[in-house]
Amino acid sequence: PKSRDGYQWTKATGLVQGVPTLGLIQPSTHFTRGKHYDVIVIGGGYAGLTTCRDLALAGNNVLLVEARDRIGGRSWSSNIGGYPYEMGGTWVHWHQPFVWRELRRYGMMDQLEISPRKNVEGGAKVTVNLDGEVKHLSHDEEDGTVTNSAIQDATVESAFKKFINVDGQFGRSVIPYPHDIEFNMAGVQEYDHMSMADRMAQVAPHLTPLEKNMFEGFLAITHGAKWEEASFFELLRWWALMNYNYPDFMAIGLTYKLRDGQSALARRIFDEAVATGRLDYSFSTPVRDVIDHGDRVEVTARNGVEVFKARRLVCTVPLNVLHTLAFTPGLPTLKTEASLAGHVNQVVKCHAEVANPEMRSLGATNYPNGRLTYTFGDGTTPAGNTHLVAFGSSLPGVHLDPEQDIQVTKKAFEEFYPGMNVQRLVFHNWHKDEFARGAWEWLRPGMTTKYLQALRERHGNVFFASSDSSFGWRGFIDGAIDDGGRVAKIVHDELRDVRPVASKL
């Protein structure tokens, strides 16, 4: 079963839209026309799926309305010949409490796999692009005591620490409680208004050319935007969440993924909700408008034909999409403003299957001279080939746009290494996706302090849950699950208490 989302290229097929996934839901609809639901949930990403499951388990009749033909939103995996390529959200860790609870719940803890592999025979392959010249730091060039991947880690770590150390305590005094930045909103202001460009200007004189090059390549994929458009505070927040140190940053952020892909986990949540008999759904149904009548909420699909009714609504569409839905009464100014400004992350994630087993240990930073800013070995495919994952961005001059010209993308992989033999490319271009309009959340300077609280507020009978405005792991899978569960509880408690009294704005 193939979703419409995503693209795949092989020499035999050329570029083809749509890839197979466990997340495809067929038949795409299951609901009773005219039924009054307790709750409608817009969006079937992790926030929406968690809301649906928790509400259905608690006894509420729920309808999920989703624009795509699949579950998972920005976290989903294509399944090609039994092998998953993660198209969006991928890496999870036991330091992320909400997603870990889900893995435990479904008995999936033993399904973690490790992406980057550095301790392979022959040593790790590290490539840097310094001033347009691709340099291969090969194992042989070292004195035998330090591996090149250790050099890569040491270089990025050294730069990272200089970049983050605004308070002499590596950010600890600014973010003492990483899950609740609200504890120090005043102290956060200064860094929230600082852009990544501002911070780089302060730190650059203290970085060696290699440190600057490798660290910029690494940073380019944290926010995927122009340096002056990305808030520095978001990096401080990630750093704090990742235990204020670089080894944990890599272990938590980029190491452990699910053997069968994220869609396998999303599927468990969805299936459990459906099994209650209280979750109905309508896929391939983009929502056009939402009207809150006080005693009920009405949701109209884009085709104008379907109108759904419920006592409460939970909207989980991404921040960058929110302003495309029409709300009556209109959304508060701060919510609309935040959505129109949007988060800035325009990362494009692209996978390659290459017939080069020795590339399993590749780690390459290529900014600002190549389109694949950061690339590394992600797995071994059933054919015994290496699976590489690469990140491109919207940074000027190195913009990656694979569906525009797939040969440019293929060439970008080939340039890493002589003899690179690209067999397959798989990708999802998130910034061209009308139901995402960007990748993971990364706010602009000033947005956290100005908009975050307003984004979480209810609007009459309409509630909001999203990884983009969650507590804790905001911008991650964990944040989506956290927020979906949080809002489900509020809605459930309210329905139980106020039935059948109407609420007003």
Tell me which residues touch ligand FAD (CB under 6 A).
Answer: 42-48, 65-68, 73-75, 88-91, 286-287, 316-318, 321, 325, 347, 349, 430, 435-436, 439-440, 466-468, 475-478, 480
**SS3 letters for 41-89?**
EECCEHHHHHHHHHHHHCCCCEEEECCCCECECCCCEEEECCEEEECCC
DSSP annotation of 371 reads: S
Sign of CA dihedral 230, 242, 127, 165: positive
3-state secondary structure of 36: strand
3-state secondary structure of 339: helix
| Smallest gap from residue 174 Cβ to ligand FAD (A) | 23
| Smallest gap from residue 76 Cβ to ligand FAD (A) | 8
| Smallest gap from residue 445 Cβ to ligand FAD (A) | 20
How far is 137 from 153, CA to CA, in rounded Å?
A: 13
DSSP annotation of 182 reads: G
| Smallest gap from residue 301 Cβ to ligand FAD (A) | 8
How far is 339 from 330, CA to CA, in rounded Å?
A: 13
| Smallest gap from residue 74 Cβ to ligand FAD (A) | 4
How far is 283 from 299, CA to CA, in rounded Å?
A: 14
How far is 240 from 248, CA to CA, in rounded Å?
A: 10
**Residue 14 CB neighbour total at 10 angstroms:** 9
Residue with Cβ nearer ligand FAD (301 or 364): 301
Residue with Cβ nearer ligand FAD (43 or 370): 43
Tell me how far CA of residue 99 lies from CA of 74, 184, 288, 483, in angstroms: 15, 26, 31, 11
The secondary structure of 259-309 as a DSSP string is: TT-HHHHHHHHHHHHHHTT-EEEE-S--EEEEEE-SS-EEEEETTS--EEE
Residue with Cβ nearer ligand FAD (207 or 265): 265
Residue with Cβ nearer ligand FAD (210 or 264): 264
| Smallest gap from residue 190 Cβ to ligand FAD (A) | 26
**Residue 449 CB neighbour total at 10 angstroms:** 20
Residue with Cβ nearer ligand FAD (137 or 156): 156
Contact in structure between 231 and 447 (CB atoms under 8 Å): yes
| Smallest gap from residue 108 Cβ to ligand FAD (A) | 15
Phi, psi values for residue 439, rounded to 5° = -95, -135
Residue with Cβ nearer ligand FAD (46 or 417): 46
| Smallest gap from residue 8 Cβ to ligand FAD (A) | 16
Contact in structure between 14 and 415 (CB atoms under 8 Å): no
Residue with Cβ nearer ligand FAD (203 or 264): 264
Residue with Cβ nearer ligand FAD (89 or 123): 89
| Smallest gap from residue 478 Cβ to ligand FAD (A) | 6
DSSP annotation of 502 reads: -
> What residues does 363 pair with on adjacent strands?
126, 376
How far is 91 from 389, CA to CA, in rounded Å?
A: 12
